[in-house]
Amino acid sequence: MKKPSKYTLIHRTTKEIKPWIGYTSAPLTHELMEYVDGVNTQVWDAYIDNRYAAKLRLYNYITFAKRGLSVPKYKPTKESITLP
């Protein structure tokens, strides 16, 4: 199972669908644009996946919990690091 992404990009003319590689960060405006006939225009539309949390839980279950491994708990904003 591939790791889910929070944003999906859809091409405006060809309707090609591709996941956004920045798994939790939103795409910036210049990343949605391409040169068409020498003019830089927006050719991709970004959509947020409302089922991202559920897909991530399923991914973690299949990848880690089902194999008896612990799920990584990296949450940098949850707790602060104190230096001595």
**Block mean pLDDT (10 aa), the chain, length 84:** 88 93 84 94 94 90 88 67 50
Count the neighbouring beta carbons within 10 Å of the beta carbon of residue 74. 6
Alpha helices by DSSP H, the chain: 52-63
Separation between Cα atoms, residue 80 and residue 21, nearest integer Å: 28
pTM to 2 decimal places? 0.68
Instruction: Give pLDDT, residue 83.
Output: 46
Domains in the chain: boundaries: 7-67
